Structure 1
Amino acid sequence: MTSTGPDTVHVRAPGKINVFLKVGAIDDTGYHDVAIAYQAVSLYEEVRVREASDFQVEVSGSVELSRVPRDGANIAIRAARLLAARTGYRGGAHIEIEKHVPVTGGMGGGSADAAATLLACDALWSTDLPREELLELARELGADVPFAFTGGTAIGTGRGDELSPALAQGTFHWVLALADFGLSTPAVYAELDEHRARHAQDIFPADPRPTVEANVLQALRAGDPHMLADAMHNDLQAAALHLEPSLSDVLELGEQSGALAGIVSGSGPTVAFLAADVDSALELQVALSAARLNVVRATGPVHGARIV
């Protein structure tokens, strides 16, 4: 197949916050089913792709980049190769990623890169895969990649990649405390499993098929930040705090500084604070910046990966 597409394709894809995350019991394959309420937020990855004879990636951006692979291990290159293999495309792609979502920060930045690359290469190469097939490839790349495609607000079950849209009204205002270190998702899950094993006598066994609680859906549907603050939950938070105790101080500081609630996003270490409105978010951003935290404001929900 030869390409007749444009010279460069630019796609923007959002990071996400898990406003609710329940982790099921570990299964025989070593995986957990999860139930997630995802919200796409206005921190974006900018991905530009042009034709090349092989696959290359360049990375820049406003976040710490030392942990981003620059070789075939980069998820964007894996996404481009997967699409080429699926469609029989014989060329390559030069991929430029401008990152604004924290790296290994629990906000799905890599997943956004993968979704953006699939969309960009499909347009660049004129391979024109139906959206369902692109989502199928997204699932192969990682559990959060399909959501980076769809954006908005959604419920993820299974591995997190079985998505159903959730009704959400209005705009939620977030202040995100970014860490200067990353947390490995497998390490956080392993810590959760160890925690559950250590305390098996004292805690209820994990539900093998978790679900998102009704009060979360009601809060999103109502567009009510106070309701959502009461409903937010993350099963991985205790494990992340155990691995990185300094995050407890960040959570406490945010809640003392006017946040309605704070939550570790995904496997961390980004801490997401929900504010009542834009003015409260600005005040919180100022207070946390004065305490020497690296913070950014974001709003949600926003749309998923789109060609710019």
Structure 2
Amino acid sequence: MVPVSALPELTVRAPAKINLHLGVGCPRPDGYHPLVTVYQAIGLYDDVWVAGHSSWEVDVRLASYIRDTEIPRPGDNLVDKAAELLAAHHGCQRLGSVMIDKAIPVAGGMAGGSADAAAALVALDRLWDLRTPDNVLLALAARLGSDIPFALVGGTALGTGRGEQVEQVSDQGTWWWVVVPAEEGLSTPEVYRHFDLLFPDAPADPAPAYGVLTALASGDPARLAAAMHNDLEAAALDLRPDLSDLIAEGEEIGALRGMVSGSGPSCVFLCASGDHAREVAAGLTDRGCPVILVANGPVAGAHVVELT
């Protein structure tokens, strides 16, 4: 077997996330909102390719439905920050060539930047032959962002704290989703600020996720549809009233449930099967939605897909 350190390049794939339950409490003294959330990784992916190089460089290729104006400036990308943190932790140089192939909607409430960071941690750990223990990699991920530990873990998981504390949960279903990205993104901090404005008396302890956890264990799409919950949805819909019409259209077409994904503005629609999801997607296309994505879940977290 070729040693990992001798591999000249590799590609790591990381999935988008949706929140089946998102309970939000009032801000903590550190400014973060306490969360109780149920994450699910779905089959929309960003790929991060890395190779050895004498300096550090990052480039991005975008799916046709993602605008380049939505991408962070060079140096501000979470991949740059993940690489810097991993290199600093091990006392090594940040060297390498990185290509990010983005298909997860940007600023859409689906944690595309977090997926990229998770993929970079896994890829660079292998490229640099650091052999970082899983628990250390998760701790580094938590320092980078609340959703990044889940992007490493994948599957379906309960998130607590500010979302960075994750544990796998029982999930007996294969769930089918129609995802409708918005043409213009929403700032997550802006949505949280609007939540605070709308709900100044939000409880310190977020709403629990018992209903969603029970539905997942049952494997019944109708039960999951009835249990899905997002405390940030009201704030997102108040900022973007057009999303209410979109959700209503999707449910009228036949989706079991439509909901804003995380902080939005992407909307997700739960369907009973793959065929049902394709029917709903076709109906939304007929209603004029320019981009419709179909995906199932749960899927694996950040993982190597190519070694050359």
Shift of 1:170: 2.4
Shift of 1:276: 1.1
The answer for the alignment partner of 2:256 in structure 1 is 260
Shift of 1:207: 2.6
Which residue of 94, 101, 106 maps to 2:104?
101
Shift of 1:257: 0.5
Q: Structure 2: which amino acid aligns with 1:181? A: E
Which residue of 220, 226, 236 maps to 2:222?
226
1:22 aligns with 2:23: yes
- Superposed, which structure 2 residues align to 1:267-286 within 5 Å? 267-286=263-282
Given that residues 53 and 92 in structure 1 are in contact (C-alpha distance below 8 angstroms), is that contact kept between their aligned partners in structure 2? yes
The answer for the alignment partner of 1:289 in structure 2 is 285
The answer for the alignment partner of 1:138 in structure 2 is 141
| Secondary structure in 1 matching 2:301 | coil
Given that residues 44 and 101 in structure 1 are in contact (C-alpha distance below 8 angstroms), is that contact kept between their aligned partners in structure 2? yes
The answer for the alignment partner of 1:56 in structure 2 is 57
Shift of 1:212: 3.0
Given that residues 40 and 302 in structure 1 are in contact (C-alpha distance below 8 angstroms), is that contact kept between their aligned partners in structure 2? yes
Given that residues 36 and 209 in structure 2 are in contact (C-alpha distance below 8 angstroms), is that contact kept between their aligned partners in structure 1? no
Counterpart-to-counterpart distance in 2, 1:29 and 1:250: 35
Shift of 1:56: 1.7
| Secondary structure in 2 matching 1:183 | coil
Which residue of 251, 272, 283 maps to 2:247?
251
Counterpart-to-counterpart distance in 2, 1:256 and 1:59: 37
Given that residues 47 and 96 in structure 1 are in contact (C-alpha distance below 8 angstroms), is that contact kept between their aligned partners in structure 2? yes
1:121 aligns with 2:118: no
Shift of 1:53: 2.9
Shift of 1:70: 4.1
Q: Structure 2: which amino acid aligns with 1:253? A: E
What residue ranges of structure 1 are gaps of 5+ in the alignment?
198-204
Given that residues 25 and 32 in structure 1 are in contact (C-alpha distance below 8 angstroms), is that contact kept between their aligned partners in structure 2? yes
Shift of 1:210: 2.0
Q: TM-score, normalised by structure 1?
A: 0.94
1:209 aligns with 2:205: yes
Shift of 1:211: 4.8
Which residue of 81, 84, 87 maps to 1:84?
87
The answer for the alignment partner of 1:192 in structure 2 is 195
Shift of 1:55: 2.4
Deviations 1:91-122 (A, max 9, x none): 41211000110001000100000000000000
The answer for the alignment partner of 2:232 in structure 1 is 236
The answer for the alignment partner of 1:202 in structure 2 is none
Given that residues 109 and 262 in structure 2 are in contact (C-alpha distance below 8 angstroms), is that contact kept between their aligned partners in structure 1? yes
Given that residues 262 and 272 in structure 1 are in contact (C-alpha distance below 8 angstroms), is that contact kept between their aligned partners in structure 2? yes
1:74 aligns with 2:70: no
Counterpart-to-counterpart distance in 1, 2:11 and 2:125: 12
Shift of 1:52: 2.2
Counterpart-to-counterpart distance in 1, 2:144 and 2:138: 10
Query: What is the aligned-residue identity percentage?
Result: 47
The answer for the alignment partner of 2:299 in structure 1 is 302
The answer for the alignment partner of 1:4 in structure 2 is 5
Shift of 1:215: 1.5
Shift of 1:209: 2.4
| Secondary structure in 1 matching 2:288 | coil
Give the aligned length: 299
Shift of 1:89: 1.3
| Secondary structure in 2 matching 1:112 | helix
Q: TM-score, normalised by structure 2?
A: 0.94
Deviations 1:165-204 (A, max 9, x none): 111012000000111111000000000000113xxxxxxx
Counterpart-to-counterpart distance in 1, 2:152 and 2:244: 32
Given that residues 53 and 91 in structure 1 are in contact (C-alpha distance below 8 angstroms), is that contact kept between their aligned partners in structure 2? no
Q: Structure 2: which amino acid aligns with 1:158? A: G
| 205-214 vs 25-34, which moves further | 205-214
Given that residues 5 and 125 in structure 1 are in contact (C-alpha distance below 8 angstroms), is that contact kept between their aligned partners in structure 2? no
Q: Structure 1: which amino acid aligns with 2:41? A: A
Counterpart-to-counterpart distance in 2, 1:299 and 1:125: 33
Q: Structure 1: which amino acid aligns with 2:141? A: A
Shift of 1:51: 1.8
| 65-74 vs 17-26, which moves further | 65-74
Pick closer, same or farther for the CA change 1:229–1:72 going to 2, 3 Å: same
